[in-house]
Amino acid sequence: MAVRVAVNGFGTIGKRVAAAVVKQPDMTLVGVAKTRPSFEAREALQSGYRLYVTGAGDPAEFEKVGLRTAGRIEELLQDVDVVVDAAPDRVGQENARLYQKAGVRAVFQGGEKSEVAEVSFNALANYAAAKDHRTVRVVSCNTTGLARAAAILTTRWEVDHWEATIVRRAADPAETKRGPLNGIIPTLQIPSHHGHDVNTILPNLHITTTAVVVPTTLMHVHVNNVRFRTGPKSAAELVEALRRTPRFHVFSRWEGIQGTPQVMEFARDRGLGRSDMMENVLWEEGVRVDGRTATFFQAIHQESVVIPEVIDAIRAMFDLAPDAARSIAITDRALGLSGPG
Amino acid sequence: MAVRVAVNGFGTIGKRVAAAVVKQPDMTLVGVAKTRPSFEAREALQSGYRLYVTGAGDPAEFEKVGLRTAGRIEELLQDVDVVVDAAPDRVGQENARLYQKAGVRAVFQGGEKSEVAEVSFNALANYAAAKDHRTVRVVSCNTTGLARAAAILTTRWEVDHWEATIVRRAADPAETKRGPLNGIIPTLQIPSHHGHDVNTILPNLHITTTAVVVPTTLMHVHVNNVRFRTGPKSAAELVEALRRTPRFHVFSRWEGIQGTPQVMEFARDRGLGRSDMMENVLWEEGVRVDGRTATFFQAIHQESVVIPEVIDAIRAMFDLAPDAARSIAITDRALGLSGPG
Amino acid sequence: MAVRVAVNGFGTIGKRVAAAVVKQPDMTLVGVAKTRPSFEAREALQSGYRLYVTGAGDPAEFEKVGLRTAGRIEELLQDVDVVVDAAPDRVGQENARLYQKAGVRAVFQGGEKSEVAEVSFNALANYAAAKDHRTVRVVSCNTTGLARAAAILTTRWEVDHWEATIVRRAADPAETKRGPLNGIIPTLQIPSHHGHDVNTILPNLHITTTAVVVPTTLMHVHVNNVRFRTGPKSAAELVEALRRTPRFHVFSRWEGIQGTPQVMEFARDRGLGRSDMMENVLWEEGVRVDGRTATFFQAIHQESVVIPEVIDAIRAMFDLAPDAARSIAITDRALGLSGPG
Amino acid sequence: MAVRVAVNGFGTIGKRVAAAVVKQPDMTLVGVAKTRPSFEAREALQSGYRLYVTGAGDPAEFEKVGLRTAGRIEELLQDVDVVVDAAPDRVGQENARLYQKAGVRAVFQGGEKSEVAEVSFNALANYAAAKDHRTVRVVSCNTTGLARAAAILTTRWEVDHWEATIVRRAADPAETKRGPLNGIIPTLQIPSHHGHDVNTILPNLHITTTAVVVPTTLMHVHVNNVRFRTGPKSAAELVEALRRTPRFHVFSRWEGIQGTPQVMEFARDRGLGRSDMMENVLWEEGVRVDGRTATFFQAIHQESVVIPEVIDAIRAMFDLAPDAARSIAITDRALGLSGPG
């Protein structure tokens, strides 16, 4: 029987999770919850989702603009096996009590501290760790991107030390109140929190991260420097390994993908929905292996990269698939991700 | 029998026209032509389009990266009734001779001078004018946006004078070589060419336009000041008239659409493909009527707003529909545009 | 004897006012006040200004980082004839009581409502109106730009109606928390408040304004459409009139000033301090006269355009100059503004 | 007797070099040369510089707009001991023959290949190497920033390996034709050329660089990871060493400098001309030492950071100072740089 899923919060993450759940063969979307009426609330209804009111929201506000709601979040929680919390950063922590009281399992986002859940999660890195847990936290977009790459590289080779500079997008495309408009803001905490967050999933990885914020809305870019004890012999070998792995997309030079704007153009043309790019994105010529050191760029679409991970987290919690590979295959086929190649 | 269509050029406009033609009940896409291999060329093949080589392109370059081409543009032209020219600005003029020699009809874009074709075209404004013509030019994105609005307002009321300030996006999302990064560039030609271009379609409209370029990639915004001899009695009357018209989308205040970033977010969620927004976009509270003067903002998605017009142009040229209303209805249903409301 | 001046607030406006006061022959800067220590507080001290603590500030915080303060704002107010309030928007209103209690006159900024002071002010438009008043409000940057232009045009010709579209910069260069990063935000209030604000100075002008916000930090740009009852006969006549007026700078085509980035480059090279451009900026070829209608662009440097107006406001309040022309001449010579030409 | 200097090219670099030469006690600016009339040409004349015509320029074009020229570049070269080439990238190479023919020494910019001159130069790193040479190349802005830091660190400690990620500004403030407007462009050449360029000055440094381009005009930011054989024991020790070095400016946390926008605001307030920041900029809390590894951010003002180096290069070529320290002291006092502290 399909796992019954609620999505609490219907912004950047919530609406994508809802759309992804609907496509899964072993899950059912029971409803979504939102605080205030907006174009997104209407689209939820037009997508056929049942709409509930959450947080400080007032059903009357929805009624007033003709949006029919099915009740409050508490009612929704009574009908589901698991809730995906997609509330703004730090609100998930407050919601945790609500979920516990309702006796439903919960998937939290990376904007919450790791203490919010029993385990932090990434499908390629520690799928099995989520098995049978009642609360799981899918790590943030940047941590997901790093954890995926680290999972592959540490599985095949011996990594001595990983250094990454994270060039962060300053805001999502529709977040119009955030800057900077013109300038670079270094994250004046060294190392940045990202490396520590990767260690919630890969505790033995020696990783150090630094970060800067730049005025773009499209994607983050990671500059990775990986020192191996034993590593790939060539860039080609590393590229080949990643090309054979799900959730990695490696562009070739002839494709003309100069940077994140063209990656997004590719994603718009590919048409998986909302111009999303759920894979780690690499450039074939943006990978170098020199002795025991590999250097490579990867771009991470902050809005969508965690979506397949949320799906896998549910599958792991409910033991719906025998292993990571099988869960990932189901998820990715449902989402239209082309898979390795 | 379906009209057989070729698309020459497979960039921003060409790829959208191809996708739109495929969806029409009375048209067949025979093939698309591109100069160089790129991710877009591969996507053409993956979409099942036959791919031809155009311009200075060399089929061997395509072969080298594994992209199968079906011949050169000249061969494609032999199999079609009409070609949609989607070459870069001013190249269409050069291509015109090629089309003439092949004996095919042609639809050109607004980046060409009006002399390129027998008639300039907008479906709401002068559909009938394209009937039976062999060459038609669909006007540019800004002109299309203005012509649509002017067509509606001049039909219902008597316009004395139209003034518009066009706040132009500096580049398309994937055009990474264009600026300015930080600044406003006034178009130091007053009036700007847009008003004159509207007159190629609505010759009797008294319209004056000015323009500035600003650092954004998403959409243009027009600030319209329309003086009527006899006009709408209230903003509500004007809004209602536009809401009842195809190819206009009016947002209500409660939807939370503050500017073009949220319009694009709406378009991504709506999912008609490539995050496109083919309608003129207005805000209910962004319309004012004061005596005989109406003032209103409208946003125009430069990448997609002309696409339905290209389809209608073909239908007009081949007399496939009895009138504009019928052609627009067919086009918009095929493209998923919701229609008036 | 020189008028003794305090500046309360030492941000974008306050630091410029302080520097301008120091240069005037008939004014003395007694001290400046700031809430918190920062690089700007240190620069105040390095400039030789006495530094006071204002608002919720704590002198101990300044001491801790080695910045010597001379007391609190209340003490500063005892030693001055007038205070220039340069607090953030709406805080000036709160400060008004403080100034009244101290018995000092006050100049407020345009971020306050007009009720904050007895009169709103612009030197070219209504200098005499501030004479002998105890509280004066210098209107905001956009209003200052419009009022200057309107003052000149209404003096020489008969204006029937003025329409302006204000393309606003979204943030100042160092305001890194404000967006939008990519997009245009129309001000969904028509008309915008700017026209009404111009009427606080020129009550008989028939003016309507609309506004959009765009992602730039450098300058605002106004697109003006002015209908005259009797007006200039040619663009050349209008340009000549403005060129002969202080606080207007008209660029010629050969200078290569394409937009606001080059205007700022000019200002950096000119070197009046902080890359400031205190004049209304016009482009010779960006002016058109067609019958009884003039259309012209003007760029306004939001950080500095009001500075000479603040100086003139003080001079008017204390009757230090016989008329506007004389005050403006003194101010502009002191600030290094080249004057008409 | 003062060395007689010409500046060929009067753009971003040339106009700053001219202003800097004028301030030196042991140099004389004979004239500057420009290709076309512009606001900058007029400002050269207003600054009292003699203006010559260079490249494909035509004196008649200058005359036509009232700018008096003193001849062509060839005439200027006859009156000088050294020319500073400030032509666009790669044009310096062409100019080299001209200088050789005129028998004058020449200083080139980092936009030229290293082969353009006998030696590449940075004052802190290899001042003595330029002594008595006839052609010297001052390395580019990024290379200058790296070379300065490396010069200090390698002098005091033993560096094993230096890795830097260079987050590059996409265009200078007035370069309005360059993008990207929204996106990150990785430099798909690993390592980037910068490390190699540092080696033209510090041949024994083991340095690897990667680069990304981001949409800002203000400054570059370097993220440095330095592995030492023997290094500083704490971040405080490293910061102290840099604070005691000329051409480094370290901000403290309380100053409120969050990123490059506030650095530029500081520079505007400081007022050394054109909002320039000629020092390497660091943040006290943006430095970390962990065992034998130091990590630190530094911001580099691309427009001005090389200016003092050009001055020192001239002094080294003509043996005007006994050593680097003395030349730097003269240069920096003349330019108003505060010096160590």
Q: Is residue A87 in some structural domain? A: yes
Which two tokens mark B246?
């195809």
Compute φ and ψ for C48, nearest 5 degrees: 90, 10
Minimum CA–CA partner of B215 in chain C: C215
CB contact under 8 A, D176 and B180: yes
pLDDT at C340: 58
Sheet containing B3-8: order of strands: B51-53, B27-34, B3-8, B82-85, B105-108, B135-138, B119-121
Q: CATH number of the domain that C86 lies in?
A: 3.40.50.720
DSSP H stretches of helix in chain D:
12-23, 39-46, 59-64, 73-78, 91-102, 123-126, 141-156, 193-198, 235-243, 260-270, 307-317, 324-335
The 10s digit of each residue's pLDDT in A233-244 is 999 999 999 999
DSSP H stretches of helix in chain B:
12-22, 39-46, 59-64, 73-78, 91-102, 123-126, 141-156, 193-198, 235-243, 260-270, 307-317, 324-335
**D141 flagged as catalytic:** yes
Minimum CA–CA partner of D209 in chain A: A295
Minimum CA–CA partner of B262 in chain C: C183
In angstroms, what separates the C-alpha of C218 from chain A's closest C-alpha?
A: 10
Q: Is residue D340 in some structural domain? A: no
* C282 close contact with B: CB closer than 8 A: no
Compute φ and ψ for C212, nearest 5 degrees: -135, 150
The 10s digit of each residue's pLDDT in A120-167 is 999 999 999 999 899 999 999 999 999 999 999 999 999 999 999 999
The answer to whether residues D56 and D101 belong to one domain is: yes
Whether the CB-CB separation of B38 and B32 falls below 8 Å is answered with: no
CB contact under 8 A, C39 and D65: no
* D256 close contact with A: CB closer than 8 A: no
pLDDT at D282: 98
CB contact under 8 A, B216 and C182: yes
pLDDT at B339: 64
Minimum CA–CA partner of B213 in chain C: C259
CB contact under 8 A, A274 and B269: yes
Q: Is residue B340 in some structural domain? A: no
Residues in chain B within 8 Å Cβ distance of C297: 186, 188, 210, 212
In angstroms, what separates the C-alpha of B257 from chain D's closest C-alpha?
A: 21
CB contact under 8 A, B260 and C223: no
Q: Which domain holds residue B69?
A: 3-139+306-335
pLDDT at D1: 75
Q: Is residue C340 in some structural domain? A: no
Residue B1 — pLDDT band, cuts 50, 70, 90?
confident
Catalytic residue among B141, B151, B201, B317: B141
CB contact under 8 A, C212 and B218: no
Q: What is the mean pLDDT of residues B31-57?
A: 97
The 10s digit of each residue's pLDDT in B275-328 is 999 999 999 999 999 999 999 999 999 999 999 999 999 999 999 999 999 999
The 10s digit of each residue's pLDDT in B87-138 is 999 999 999 999 999 999 999 999 999 999 999 999 999 999 999 899 999 9
Q: CATH number of the domain that B156 lies in?
A: 3.30.360.10
- Taking the C-alpha atoms of residue B312 and residue B10, their distance in angstroms, rounded to an integer, is 20
* pLDDT at residue B3 is higher than 60: yes
Closest residue to B214, CB basis, from C167, C210, C296? C167
CB contact under 8 A, B171 and D179: yes
The answer to whether residues C280 and C312 belong to one domain is: no
Burial (CB < 10 A; 0-12, 13-18, 19+), residue D79, is: middle
CB < 8 Å from D in window 175-194 of B: 175-183, 185
Whether the CB-CB separation of C320 and C26 falls below 8 Å is answered with: yes
Q: Is residue C168 in some structural domain? A: yes
* pLDDT at residue A252 is higher than 80: yes
In angstroms, what separates the C-alpha of B107 from chain A's closest C-alpha?
A: 23
CB contact under 8 A, B261 and A174: yes
Which two tokens mark D233?
């024991």
Closest residue to D171, CB basis, from B171, B173, B179? B179
The answer to whether residues D16 and D102 belong to one domain is: yes
What percent of chain B has a predicted confidence (pLDDT) above 90?
98
Whether the CB-CB separation of A298 and A224 falls below 8 Å is answered with: yes
- Taking the C-alpha atoms of residue A162 and residue A151, their distance in angstroms, rounded to an integer, is 12
Q: Is residue D153 in some structural domain? A: yes
Task: Residue C133: name the closest of C329, C322, C315 by CA.
Answer: C315
Residues in chain C within 8 Å Cβ distance of D261: 173-176, 217
CB contact under 8 A, B167 and C184: yes
The answer to whether residues A130 and A146 belong to one domain is: no
Minimum CA–CA partner of A179 in chain D: D261
pLDDT one digit per residue (tens) for chain C, 341 residues: 799 999 999 999 999 999 999 999 999 999 999 999 999 999 999 999 999 999 999 999 999 999 999 999 999 999 999 999 999 999 999 999 999 999 999 999 999 999 999 999 999 999 999 998 999 999 999 999 999 999 999 999 999 999 999 999 999 999 999 999 999 999 999 999 999 999 999 999 999 999 999 999 999 999 999 999 999 999 999 999 999 999 999 999 999 999 999 999 999 999 999 999 999 999 999 999 999 999 999 999 999 999 999 999 999 999 999 999 999 999 999 999 976 54
Closest residue to C179, CB basis, from A175, A183, A185? A175
- Taking the C-alpha atoms of residue D338 and residue D333, their distance in angstroms, rounded to an integer, is 7
Residues in chain C within 8 Å Cβ distance of B208: 290, 295
Which two tokens mark D272?
């050394």
Compute φ and ψ for C292, nearest 5 degrees: -95, 15
Minimum CA–CA partner of A184 in chain C: C176
CB contact under 8 A, C177 and A179: yes
The 10s digit of each residue's pLDDT in D5-61 is 999 999 999 999 999 999 999 999 999 999 999 999 999 999 999 999 999 999 999
Closest residue to D223, CB basis, from A182, A210, A296? A210
Compute φ and ψ for C261, nearest 5 degrees: -60, -40
Q: Is residue B341 in some structural domain? A: no
CB atoms within 10 A of CB C265: 24
The answer to whether residues C115 and C20 belong to one domain is: yes
The answer to whether residues B310 and B250 belong to one domain is: no
Which two tokens mark B309?
């017009």
The answer to whether residues A238 and A313 belong to one domain is: no
Catalytic residue among C30, C77, C130, C141: C141
What percent of chain A has a predicted confidence (pLDDT) above 90?
98
The answer to whether residues D164 and D291 belong to one domain is: yes
The answer to whether residues C169 and C277 belong to one domain is: yes
Q: Is residue D186 in some structural domain? A: yes
Catalytic residue among A18, A104, A123, A141: A141
* B329 close contact with D: CB closer than 8 A: no
The answer to whether residues C283 and C313 belong to one domain is: no
* Residue D28: DSSP 8-state: E
- Taking the C-alpha atoms of residue A95 and residue A7, their distance in angstroms, rounded to an integer, is 12
Chains in contact with A via at least 3 Cβ–Cβ pairs below 8 Å:
B, C, D
Question: How high is the ipTM of this complex?
Answer: 0.97
CB < 8 Å from A in window 186-245 of D: 186, 188-191, 208, 210, 212-219, 221, 223, 225
CB contact under 8 A, D225 and A283: no
Residues in chain D within 8 Å Cβ distance of B178: 177-179, 181
DSSP H stretches of helix in chain A:
12-23, 39-46, 59-64, 73-78, 91-102, 123-126, 141-156, 193-198, 235-243, 260-270, 307-317, 324-335
Closest residue to C173, CB basis, from D182, D252, D261? D261
CB contact under 8 A, B269 and A43: yes
Catalytic residue among D83, D87, D141, D306: D141
- The whole-number mean pLDDT for each consecutive block of 10 residues of chain D, a chain of 341 residues, reads 96 98 98 97 97 96 97 98 96 96 98 97 98 96 98 98 98 97 98 97 98 98 98 98 97 97 98 96 98 98 98 98 98 88 49
Q: Which residues contact B328 (CB under 8 A, 6 or more apart)?
A: B123, B124, B246, B247, B308, B312
- Taking the C-alpha atoms of residue A161 and residue A153, their distance in angstroms, rounded to an integer, is 11
Task: Residue A106: name the closest of A88, A129, A125, A80 by CA.
Answer: A80
Q: What Å distances lie between residue A206 and A114, A150, A227, A294, CA to CA?
A: 19, 10, 10, 15
> Up-side HSE of residue B53: CA atoms within 13 Å toward CB?
16
* B171 close contact with D: CB closer than 8 A: yes
- SS3 for chain C, per residue? CCEEEEEECCCHHHHHHHHHHHHCCCEEEEEEEECCCCHHHHHHHHCCCCEEECCCCCHHHHHHCCCCCCCEHHHHHHCCCEEEECCCCCHHHHHHHHHHHHCCEEEECCCCCHHHCCEEECHHHHHHHHCCCCEEEECCHHHHHHHHHHHHHHHHCEEEEEEEEEEEECCCCCCCCCCCCCCCEECCCCCCHHHHHHCCCCCCCCEEEEEEEECCCCCEEEEEEEEEEECCCCHHHHHHHHHCCCCEEEECHHHCCCCHHHHHHHHHHHCCCCCCCCCEEEEHHHEEEECCEEEEEEEECCCCCCHHHHHHHHHHHCCCCCCHHHHHHHHHHHHCCCCCC
Helix (H, G, I), strand (E, B) or coil at B6: strand
Closest residue to A185, CB basis, from C176, C182, C183? C176
The answer to whether residues A129 and A25 belong to one domain is: yes
CB atoms within 10 A of CB A47: 16
- Split into its structural domains, chain D has a count of 2
The 10s digit of each residue's pLDDT in D125-154 is 999 999 989 999 999 999 999 999 999 999
CB contact under 8 A, B39 and A268: no
pLDDT at D17: 98
The answer to whether residues D86 and D168 belong to one domain is: no
